[in-house]
């Protein structure tokens, strides 16, 4: 990658004045501790108008302490997993240097064990015998204003990526702890603006952007014109078509942002060439489900139910998810329990199916032809998105979530190179913006948290002169567009996997098997 | 928070976006841009005006591609791309230009 060539316009303002961007070295180093270095980092708090739409108190309630402790008790009672996570840490230290936010910020409270302890010490104080009677001996503490403040600060410095849990000998899942803490905070009226405003928009309009149906229709129509103009083929972007076979549920960023939209064009080209009838729904025009990030089962379910409603209303046979990381976790792992049963769909296909699985299947069946030479101008690496890597699967074999995207990329381009083994697959580093942290009020955290991934990119780039990093998550794509310039890369070096596919697709039915090029 | 200008008070949120779309006028746009060290040229205004027209029709800011296409038509093909828009609005055309146009900040994974 031409690391030295930074887009000047971006660099001029994107270079921060008030924090130091980590310097990439020859290899990833564990930093010396800098206690309190991120104590100032907190996202904007949700306003009453955002809170109330989600069924939470508008602002911090008077008896918040009592309610928070009771809520913690309820959560521990209803989730055996959470109780095990809070009970079983032996302070072995295996997780301490595994979190990208710790590696990028050096704040010891960003060590996963320390992050868990913020909740664990309160749990011990109120719900264990030792903590009730001998709190000081077992590190138990009262829930004070200071503790609540720490929760807000540091549970919004966890992207719930679950990398630490891979290395924990007990499998303690910090994501679950962080979700529980956020849920408790929402319950007492201390919510985060970014997530809660967005969830409110989904409840009202069906997507994170707040994109109403006429705007969506206009955007899709424009895309049809663009693609027709570009390649001379009438590729459709159907909306609310009753009786279509496939309902595509994709992150609304795919309609709005770059490079996401090139991924959407790629899906449409795949559907077109495979002859699949498909549609987008204006009712469920969002794959993302931020209910997961705030640990709210009710909100997660409400969002998920829109997909069921759309599938029934349109009478589709299959549900396919576009490139969105945590959506695939919710889709793959929870959709059936949240919004099932889906016995009205075609049982020959997984419910739901990932767009990468669709493309992979079509390639295996010989129903798609890709010409990888179309991407000969690119040297590509792949960023495994955390929720796909560590909380889901693709295809029928273990590890399919790692092999399928790579198979698809390799079929689309001739020059593919992986980043170092301890930074990909289940050991993948978060982009730095996941878990509801992709907001401008957390830019310092996002830039610093991206450091381990940037280090890995630098290493593969030094060896193989990478031009592009491909990803299958809307958050990852937006995050990298934002943070690349801080590290000397260019914002347009992040692309969608299905952009590669779309550009390499050969339209067989066309005279002369015309290749699609830009 | 609020910006005081010509005896009028413009309520803004934490990030400087206008709370009330109806409060907007060209003077406040200039002031908001100055706060970001941005001097609004005619081309900046083309973007702002398009955003406002689009918003009036659809109650949302246009997708980046819709915006680039429209700007390409108005200012010439060489300017109808996001690279040019980022030159005008280095914080990102969607977010920065929306702010000066008095529109709410786009939300989501963008």
Q: For A137-172, what is each residue's pLDDT tens digit?
A: 999 999 999 999 999 999 999 999 999 999 999 999
The pLDDT of residue A251 is: 98
Query: Mean pLDDT over residues A456-473, rounded?
Result: 98
pLDDT number for residue B1: 82
Q: How far apart are CA A511 and CA A439, in angstroms?
A: 47
Whether A176 contacts A85, CB under 8 Å: yes
Task: Give me the number of domains chain A comprises.
Answer: 2
Tell if the CB–CB gap between B65 and A261 is shorter than 8 Å.
yes
Cβ within 8 Å, pair A198-B63: no
Task: Identify the three-state secondary structure at position A249.
Answer: strand
Subunit contact B108:A441, Cβ cutoff 8 A: no
A138, A156, A191 - which closes a domain: A191
Pick the last residue of a domain from A191, A207, A240: A191
ipTM rounded to 2 decimals: 0.95
What secondary structure letter does DSSP report for A3? T
Query: Cβ of A211 under 8 Å from any chain B Cβ?
Result: yes
Same domain membership, residue A254 and residue A372: yes
Of the candidates A335, A340, A331, the one whose C-alpha atom is nearest the C-alpha of residue A392 is A331
CATH number at residue B86: 1.10.10.370
Confidence of residue B94 (pLDDT cuts 50, 70, 90): confident
Is residue B110 situated within a structural domain? no
pLDDT in tens, B33-74: 999 999 999 999 999 999 999 999 999 999 999 999 999 999
Question: Is A24 domain-assigned?
Answer: no
Q: What is the pLDDT of residue A7?
A: 38
Three-state secondary-structure class, residue B72:
helix
Residue A1 reports pLDDT greater than 70: no
Where residue A71 sits, what CATH number does that domain have? 1.10.1060
Q: Which residues of B touch A230 (CB under 8 A)?
A: none
A203/A97 same-domain check: no
Q: Give me the DSSP letters along A366-380.
A: T--EE-GGGGTT--E
| Contact (CB<8Å) A218/B106 | no
Query: In this structure, is residue A517 part of a structural domain?
Result: no
Q: Which of A136, A162, A191 is the last residue of a domain?
A: A191
Residue A454 has pLDDT above 70, yes or no: yes
For A61-106, what is each residue's pLDDT tens digit?
999 999 999 999 999 999 999 999 999 999 999 999 999 999 999 9
- Average pLDDT of chain A? 95
Chain B residue numbers touching A257 (CB-CB < 8 A): 63-64, 94, 109-110
- Kind of pairing, strands A369-370 and A318-321? unpaired
Interface residue A261 vs chain B (CB under 8 A): yes
Do both A160 and A297 map to the same domain?
A: no
Sheet holding A494-496, edge to edge: A380-382, A468-471, A494-496
Note whether A282 and A162 are same-domain residues: no
pLDDT at A13 over 90: no
Distances (CA, A) of A177 to A87, A99, A326: 12, 15, 17
Report, as an integer, the average pLDDT of A436-450: 97
Residue B107 domain-assigned?
no
d(CA A116, CA A108): 12
Is residue A110 packed enough to be buried (19+ CB in 10 Å), middle (13-18) or exposed (0-12)? buried
Active site residue B98: no
Q: Are residues A330 and A274 in the same domain?
A: yes
A170 and A219 share one domain: no
Q: Is residue A19 part of a domain?
A: no
pLDDT tens track for A230-257: 999 999 999 999 999 999 999 999 999 9
Nearest to B59 among A212, A257, A438 (CB): A212
Q: Tell me the nearest-neighbour CA distance from A265 into chain B, angstroms.
A: 12
Residue A5: inside a domain, yes or no? no
Q: pLDDT band for position A508 (50/70/90)?
A: confident
Residue B21 has pLDDT above 50, yes or no: yes
Judgement on whether residues A225 and A292 belong to the same structural domain of the protein: yes
Q: Do A198 and B107 count as a contact with CB atoms less than 8 A apart?
A: yes
> How many Å apart are CA A390 and CA A285, to the nearest integer?
25
> Domain tally for chain B?
1
Partners of A280 in beta bridges: A239, A248
Instruction: Give pLDDT, residue A17.
Output: 54
Question: Residue A509: what pLDDT?
Answer: 64
Judge whether residue A2 has pLDDT over 50: no
In angstroms, the first-to-last Cα distance of chain B is 25
Residue B105 included in any domain: no
> Do residues A181 and A229 share a domain?
no
Say what percent of chain A tops pLDDT 70. 95
Domain of residue B80, residue span? 2-100
Mean pLDDT of A23-36: 96
Residues A68 and A150 occupy one common structural domain: yes
The residue-averaged pLDDT of A405-420 equals 98
Question: The whole model's pTM is what?
Answer: 0.95
In a domain, B109, yes or no: no
Count of residues making up chain B: 110
Residue A12 has pLDDT above 70, yes or no: no
If one compares A508 and A290, the residue with the highest pLDDT of the two is A290
Residues A180 and A279 in one domain: no
Range of the domain at A351: 198-506
Q: Are residues A402 and A452 in the same domain?
A: yes
Task: Please check the confidence at residue B85 and state whether its pLDDT lies above 70.
Answer: yes
């Amino acid at each position: 990658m031409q690391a030295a060539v930074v887009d000047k316009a971006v660099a001029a303002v994107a270079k921060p004045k008030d924090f130091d961007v980590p310097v990439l070295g020859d290899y990833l180093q564990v930093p010396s501790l800098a206690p309190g270095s991120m104590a100032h980092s907190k996202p904007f708090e949700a306003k009453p108008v955002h809170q109330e739409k989600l069924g939470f108190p508008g602002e911090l309630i008077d008896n918040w302490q009592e309610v928070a402790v009771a809520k913690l008790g309820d959560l521990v009672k209803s989730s055996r997993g959470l109780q095990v996570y809070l009970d079983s840490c032996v302070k072995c230290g295996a997780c301490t240097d595994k979190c990208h936010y710790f590696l990028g910020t050096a704040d010891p409270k960003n060590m996963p064990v320390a992050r868990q302890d913020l909740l664990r010490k309160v749990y011990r104080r109120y719900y264990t015998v030792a903590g009730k009677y001998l709190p000081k001996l077992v590190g138990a503490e009262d829930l004070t204003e200071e503790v609540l403040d720490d929760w807000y600060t540091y549970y919004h410095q966890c992207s719930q990526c679950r990398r630490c849990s891979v290395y924990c000998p007990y499998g303690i899942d910090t994501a679950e702890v962080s979700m529980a803490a956020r849920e408790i905070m929402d319950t007492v009226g201390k919510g985060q603006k970014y997530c809660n405003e967005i969830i409110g928009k989904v409840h009202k309009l069906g997507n994170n952007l707040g994109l109403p149906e006429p705007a969506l229709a206009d955007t899709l129509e424009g895309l049809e014109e663009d693609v027709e103009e570009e390649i001379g083929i009438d590729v459709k972007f159907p909306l609310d078509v009753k009786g279509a076979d496939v309902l595509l549920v994709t992150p609304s960023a795919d309609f709005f942002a770059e490079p996401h939209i090139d991924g959407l064009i790629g899906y449409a080209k795949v559907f077109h060439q495979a002859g699949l009838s498909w549609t987008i729904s204006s009712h469920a025009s969002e794959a993302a489900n931020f209910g997961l990030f705030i640990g709210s089962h009710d909100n997660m379910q409400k969002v998920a139910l829109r997909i069921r409603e759309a599938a029934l209303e349109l009478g589709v046979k299959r549900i396919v998810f576009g490139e969105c990381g945590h959506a695939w976790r919710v889709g793959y792992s929870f959709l059936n329990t949240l919004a099932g049963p889906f016995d009205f769909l075609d049982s020959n296909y997984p419910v739901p199916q990932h767009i990468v699985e669709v493309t992979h299947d079509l390639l295996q069946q010989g129903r798609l032809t890709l010409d990888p030479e179309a991407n000969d101008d690119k040297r590509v690496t792949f960023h495994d998105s955390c929720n796909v890597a560590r909380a889901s699967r693709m295809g029928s074999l273990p590890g399919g979530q790692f092999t399928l995207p790579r198979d698809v990329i390799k079929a689309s381009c001739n020059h593919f190179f992986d980043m170092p083994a301890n930074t990909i697959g289940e050991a993948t580093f978060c982009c730095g913006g996941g878990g509801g942290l992709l907001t401008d009020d957390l830019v310092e955290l996002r830039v610093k948290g991206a450091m381990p991934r940037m280090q890995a990119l630098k290493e593969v780039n030094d060896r193989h002169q990478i031009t592009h990093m491909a990803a299958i998550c809307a958050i990852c794509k937006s995050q990298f567009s934002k943070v690349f310039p801080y590290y000397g890369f260019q914002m347009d070096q992040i692309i969608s996997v299905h952009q590669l596919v779309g550009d390499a697709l050969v339209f067989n039915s066309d005279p002369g098997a015309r290749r699609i090029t830009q | 928070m609020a910006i005081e200008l010509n005896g009028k008070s413009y309520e803004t949120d934490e990030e400087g976006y206008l709370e009330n779309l109806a409060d907007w006028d060209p003077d406040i746009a200039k002031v908001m841009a100055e706060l970001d060290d941005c001097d609004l040229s005619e081309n900046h205004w083309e973007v702002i005006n398009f955003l406002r027209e689009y918003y009036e029709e659809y109650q949302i800011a246009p997708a980046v591609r819709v915006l680039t296409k429209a700007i390409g038509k108005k200012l010439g093909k060489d300017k109808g791309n996001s690279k040019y828009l980022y030159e005008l609005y280095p914080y990102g055309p969607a977010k920065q230009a929306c702010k000066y146009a008095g529109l709410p900040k786009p939300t989501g994974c963008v």
